[in-house]
Amino acid sequence: MRVAAAARRAGHSPRGLASGRQRRGRGPTPRSVWTLWITGAALLIAGAVALPTALAAQSSPLDDARAALVRGEYESALERLDRVSDGGSEAAIVRLRALRALGRYDDALDLLGGRSGPAPSPRLERWKGELLLEVGAWDAAEAAFERSVAAGAPDAALARVLLGEQAFRRGRWQEARAVFDSFIDLYNSGAADTGAEMIAVAHAVGRLGRENPDLFQDALRAWDEAIELLPGDPRPIVAVGDLFLDRYTSTRAMEEYARALSVNAREPDALHGRARALDFDGSGRALAVANEVLETNPNHVGARTLLAEIRLRAENVPAAVEEAETALETNPRSLEALSVLAAARYLAGDEEGWIEARDRVLALNPSWAGLYVRLAELSADARRYADAVDFAREAVARDSLSWEGWGLLGINQMRTQEVVEGRENVARAFDGDPYNPWFKNTLDLLDLMDDFETVRSENFEIVLPPGEAALLGPRVIALAEEAFAEMTERYGTSPPTPIRLELFPTSADFSVRTFGLVGLGALGVSFGSTLVMDSPTAREPGDFNWASTLWHEIAHAFHLAISDHAVPRWFSEGLAVREQRVARPHWGFRAGVPWLQAWTSERMPPLSRMNEAFVRPAFPAQLAFGYFQASLAFDWIEERWGFQAIRDFLEGYGRGATTNQLTRIILGLDDEELDAEFQRYVDARFESEIAALADLAPVFHDGPGDQTVDAEATVEEILEGMTDDLDILRSQARLSPGSFPARLRLGQALVRAGWWDEAEENLRAAQRLFPAYPGLDGPLAGLARVHQARGEVSEAAGALRALGELNESAWSVAVEEARLRAELGDVPGELRALRRALEIHPFAVEPQTRLATLAGETGAWDEAASAWEAVVALEPADPAQVWYELSRARLRSGDRAGARTAVLRALEIAPSFDAALELLLEIRGGGR
């Protein structure tokens, strides 16, 4: 994006800027309609002298004050200025900059004669106007800018561009546009030759980009020229960082903020930019960096507003309201803070409060789309997708150039089954903002989805990748309808139908469908009555269990419908995992060593704050751990209070109640009691496992976000580097006979050494210590190897079956068990293992073929027909034979018409296939 700037730095002359009246190309626009192209910091540099790189060797107190200001030593700068007898406007400007950086806006204004009336000199009018904007005194600020322009002050260009900005923020776009457009002429005439003038040009050209996105490249060039005209000053660099961030390029933005902070580590606007970039990337560090801003400037409205957004996305509405209101105490006309306040009150169910905040915004600017964009974004974050559609539609009604509004409208329409209209609106957004990756990726995916196939059932509309409908469609329908029926009975109600379910052949496609970018680590997402997830073909066999995932997502459809989309994330996710285990005991998360270590080392939040693990995880694996831990809460609640209590929670959320309120009403516990009793429940449930891990060193560091293992780390990975010396391992096991890691590690080493009997002894001991360990490196896997080595096929198969009951995705375990069962001649056992394998990954020819054959041999002709249909879809090596077998199975199951179709397909491939000809005669003759 910085090609033009790079060319200029290489010595090329800059080209002229295009007039907004002449060029209507397409290019990127801001991520948020309210993000200013120019920060207060960048504006406040205009008129300042260059940094003290060329100061005389004998510096003056004023020079020392300037140097302290540049280093971020604002208090020292003010102290040094107290020793300046008569620095005139130069000293005043340094003092104003220091006071502003510290958030002491009224102190700065006092130096300029207070909030009303003129500044002491025309040169200070623009400074006064900017400080007045910091405290929301719009009328007085505009009067100051007008005085600067009228007096022909050296920085009058900045005052004039800020008058244009104020016209924009008041909703007078045509007036603002005329002001901004004049700066293109200023640049092209060669008259913009000062830092102030180049900043004004950069700001104006950036604003015009909302109509002509090509101009954003020109804005970047102008900012770069401003940097050259103000060498060494970090603050215009912050503006370049803001430009990159608003162009969705957070990495480049972070580089620019780092450049600025290398000069002044306390620069509030650079820190604010870094916090925004971290938040853009979903990093939990955004919160800490935003608070760093406030350590220097407690009245920084941008930082307060960002904190309010972060709190709101974390579903901490009271804290969000408090931050927004604190920002408004400084600047009661902050459109951004008012918009977040409106959203916070809306999501809290405060009808009167949100309308009051909305009306305050619209009184200032009736066409401010940013209000409704923010409401749409935060409603979608809270999973209120229908509300997001309504708010986005209002945003574009008020400002047809709100490309973000058009995009939010389209994307959320596609989440609420308005697919055709949603696609049109995303396309419209992309026309105005063709470099927006969310819009582009979504449209590219929709182009691919034109070839998808749709199958329908009583309650579902299922959209499948090309070529997968024949195999996957019947299986998805059967499982989805089973889940719908069971949960309808369990919850006593059902979500709106049809439920739209979309499966994607790659995780990248699923990720784009979910939030517009690749990289989402989830397996499925529920938008209510629209569900999206990975197809089994999206991942390698054994990576996940598609059937369990589907059940989980359908559970969300019920939870969101019953709660009117108000259920907290932790509650819905934990309950969905609980529903997986209710449906099939082997489904869902299990307690692993990493989670137990996180629990015992108090790295997991208590139940009253469980949502923190989902919306702002403190370390990478905390989110995955949160799914399991939250599911334990519903085991506990259902065991103690019954399932009705869970339904009461969901209905209570729908009425606007909070978790704290519902816990008191339904469970009779306050937060402290809730946490203590849940702690006791978990400790008791896993008492033996916790004791068996007591000598295992914690794998978590104290540093923020540090973690040495992931959520699915195995004991073998945790103990990586531990000795394999059998004598040492035997000694450790003797010293700690109740240590799961010690007994398991010794057992594994003995297996590798071929000491089968001693290995079995230690592996069985490990199994007793941690009987539900789900890892494929665990005692059950080791025992299977021991039994196979000794020729104990039945015992080996039993160990593998037990392991499969603990791990929903253990594809290789199920396949190996099926092989052993076949060796034993255990047909029922082999069928069970094959079904488990194909539940995980149905796109496997050999297991499907074997299942079809065994089902036919045992007279399970319906199952045989279904399996042969799957084999047909998998393009087998001998398709004629498979079509023939399918015909036989259909005939035996009573589907004569289907049998005839299948045998004719066999004969199309092999016209002289004798057995198929005989079968066709049998079908025509009415025999079986």
Q: Which residues, other chains included, contact 785 with Cβ-Cβ below 8 Å and sequence gap of 6+? A: 751, 796
Give the mean pLDDT of 812-822.
Answer: 98
Domains defined along the chain, listed by start: 451-562 (3.40.30.160), 565-688 (no CATH), 714-843 (1.25.40.10), 845-928 (1.25.40.10)
Q: Taking the model in full, what pTM does it have?
A: 0.86
Q: What confidence category does residue 853 fall into, taking pLDDT thresholds of 50, 70 and 90? A: very high
**DSSP 8-state code for residue 526:** E
Give the mean pLDDT of 684-694.
Answer: 95
Q: Which residues, other chains included, contact 691 with Cβ-Cβ below 8 Å and sequence gap of 6+? A: 738
Question: Which element (helix H / strand E) includes 308?
Answer: helix 301-313
* pLDDT for the residue numbered 720: 56
* Cα–Cα distance measured from residue 447 to residue 513, given in angstroms and rounded to the nearest whole number: 12
* pLDDT for the residue numbered 609: 94
Give 668-711 as a 3 state SS string: CCCHHHHHHHHHHHHHHHCHHHHHHCCCCCCCCCCCCCCCCCCC
Q: What confidence category does residue 722 fall into, taking pLDDT thresholds of 50, 70 and 90? A: low
Q: What confidence category does residue 661 fall into, taking pLDDT thresholds of 50, 70 and 90? A: very high
* Cα–Cα distance measured from residue 551 to residue 584, given in angstroms and rounded to the nearest whole number: 10
Of 785, 874, 802, the C-alpha closest to 836 is 802
Is the pLDDT confidence value at 600 over 80? yes
* Cα–Cα distance measured from residue 818 to residue 815, given in angstroms and rounded to the nearest whole number: 5
What are 313's two structure tokens?
Answer: 């996305």
Q: Which residues, other chains included, contact 880 with Cβ-Cβ below 8 Å and sequence gap of 6+? A: 906, 907, 909, 910, 913, 916
SS3 state of residue 500: strand
* Cα–Cα distance measured from residue 903 to residue 923, given in angstroms and rounded to the nearest whole number: 9
Instruction: Using CB atoms within 10 Å of the CB of residue 139, give its burial: 0 to 12 exposed, 13 to 18 middle, 19+ buried.
Output: exposed
* pLDDT for the residue numbered 268: 97
Which residue is listed with tokens 């429940």? 681
Rg for the chain, CA atoms, rounded: 33
Say how far residue 643 (Cα) sits from the centre of its chain.
31
Cis peptide upstream of residue 498 (ω within 30 degrees of 0): yes
**DSSP 8-state code for residue 666:** I
* Cα–Cα distance measured from residue 916 to residue 905, given in angstroms and rounded to the nearest whole number: 10
What's phi and psi for 454, nearest 5 deg?
Answer: -120, 130
Q: What confidence category does residue 9 fall into, taking pLDDT thresholds of 50, 70 and 90? A: very low
Residue range 84-111, pLDDT digits in tens? 877 688 899 999 999 999 999 999 999 9
Give the mean pLDDT of 423-452.
Answer: 93
* Cα–Cα distance measured from residue 778 to residue 718, given in angstroms and rounded to the nearest whole number: 13
Q: What confidence category does residue 42 fall into, taking pLDDT thresholds of 50, 70 and 90? A: very low
Question: Which element (helix H / strand E) includes 596?
Answer: helix 593-600
Give the mean pLDDT of 399-408.
Answer: 96
Residue range 572-595, pLDDT digits in tens? 999 999 999 999 999 999 999 999
Please, what's the b/e burial string for 110-120 (b: 16 or more CB within 10 A of its CB; e: otherwise)?
ebbeebeebbe
* Sheet of strand 524-526: strand arrangement: 453-456, 460-464, 499-504, 530-534, 524-526
Residues listed for the chain: 928
What are 871's two structure tokens?
Answer: 């084999």
